[in-house]
Amino acid sequence: DGCIKAVGQADVIRNEFSEATFERIIDCSGKCVLPGLVDAHTHPVWAGDRVHEFAMKLAGASYMEIHQAGGGIHFTVEHTRQAPEDELLATLQQRLGRMLRAGSTLVECKSGYGLDLDSELKMLRAIERARKSTDIGISSTYCGAHAVPRGKTAAEATDDIINNHLPKLKELQLSGELHVNNIDVFCEKGVFDLESTRRILQAGKDIGLQINFHGDELHPMKSAELGAELGARAISHLEEVSDEGIVAMARAKCAAVLLPTTAYMLRLKQPQARKMLEEGVIVALGSDFNPNAYCFSMPMVMHLACVNMKMSMNEALAAATINAAYALGKSDTHGSLEVGKQGDLLIINSSRWEHLIYQFGGHEALINYVIVKGKVVYENERCEAMSSY
């Protein structure tokens, strides 16, 4: 049934299953078995390349300067609105394939580059089709409040989402056409303020979506306090979170999804991972894969978390497995090697699992097998021919 039947010492398991026959046996001598990685924050559905903006950033332009010059989210929105659903699905499937080969077996996927109802639904349908056609597990997020659409005020956009987008989403959920798990809002100065964010998140919660939103990234907004109050499952970014917000999240068992790639690429200050961990916050990690932070690799995200956010390797592994699964409401089925949980595993071509973090960008010769629901979905031939050291 795709679930783990036993975990333990080799001789005990050999005795327990001495009569059993198996379709396939993998010799893991000298290797490590780890839970499949969980990427708790991605924006993988979009059209239109933004590589030119990387040059602008390197020359000193800020995120908001690019945004105001017609770049950033709005550039991607224009291209995504024009792209047919099949094209969006094809690029999404390729991106998910790259994530899978880098060890991710469960990925959160957001809409948010449509901003009008038809385009957001097009993105969510592409995510739904990818869920059915790819091996990787998907947690789907409606992120229609990712930016204020051109020609609308934030108040008008908020009303449109609450009165039009969410009722349609509820209808499609009830009919079984879409399965959306989370609601997200970009709570930020000049985007959606605290009150608009509250209204949208509450309306999403009222139709059964988990709250999982962008907060306190570029300016302190008291997003963490709001999320704790609303019973949010997770809040992402948190570079500018307040001390009170950290305490509130710890009390509310609201996960902090930290995105070291974003702070690294935008040259922002790093999220306070150590302070959050000391206060008892559940810290998870995500790649924030999007046109602004083009990274598929959770092993590289873990490495950055250790070096730039001062997390230990054990903390980073927990943040990229069980805690990231918790941030998506899936920690009862995913994120660790336990009997009864889904059989999502990595086999690492090394006798020490730490190589997955230590070798920056080295996962291509390290990840030997990716297994989802007990089936090998990726086998890396290169591992057999080479030492991982």
Residue 247 lies in a domain: yes
Residue 298 lies in a domain: yes
User: Are 117 and 266 part of one and the same domain?
Assistant: yes
User: Are 229 and 348 part of one and the same domain?
Assistant: no
Query: What count of other Cβ atoms lies within 10 Å of the Cβ of residue 162?
Result: 18
Residue 62 lies in a domain: no
User: Are 17 and 122 part of one and the same domain?
Assistant: no
Would you state the pLDDT for residue 64? 81
Residue 364's pLDDT band (cuts 50, 70, 90) = confident
pLDDT digit string, tens, across residues 58-74: 999 887 888 878 888 88
Q: Which of 186, 184, 97 is nearest to 142 (CA)?
A: 184
pLDDT digit string, tens, across residues 8-17: 999 999 999 9
The residues near 208 (Cβ < 8 Å, ≥ 6 apart) are: 170, 173
Residue 373 lies in a domain: yes
Residue 174 lies in a domain: yes
- Burial class from Cβ neighbours inside 10 Å (0-12, 13-18, 19+) for residue 81 reads middle
User: Are 40 and 130 part of one and the same domain?
Assistant: yes
Residue percentage of the chain with pLDDT more than 70: 98
Residue 375 lies in a domain: yes
User: Are 184 and 108 part of one and the same domain?
Assistant: yes
Residue 386's pLDDT band (cuts 50, 70, 90) = low
User: Are 147 and 11 part of one and the same domain?
Assistant: no
Would you state the pLDDT for residue 192? 98
User: Are 18 and 42 part of one and the same domain?
Assistant: no
Would you state the pLDDT for residue 378? 98
Residue 58 lies in a domain: no
> Number of structural domains, the chain?
2
User: Are 40 and 18 part of one and the same domain?
Assistant: no
Would you state the pLDDT for residue 266? 85
Would you state the pLDDT for residue 65? 87
User: Are 254 and 135 part of one and the same domain?
Assistant: yes
> Is 80 exceeded by the pLDDT of residue 113?
yes
pLDDT digit string, tens, across residues 296-345: 999 999 999 999 999 999 999 999 999 999 999 999 999 999 999 999 99
User: Are 16 and 146 part of one and the same domain?
Assistant: no
User: Are 91 and 223 part of one and the same domain?
Assistant: yes
Tell me which residue range forms the domain holding 359.
3-32+344-379
User: Are 191 and 324 part of one and the same domain?
Assistant: yes
Q: For residue 240, what is the domain's CATH number?
A: 3.20.20.140
- What tokens does 171 get? 């209808």
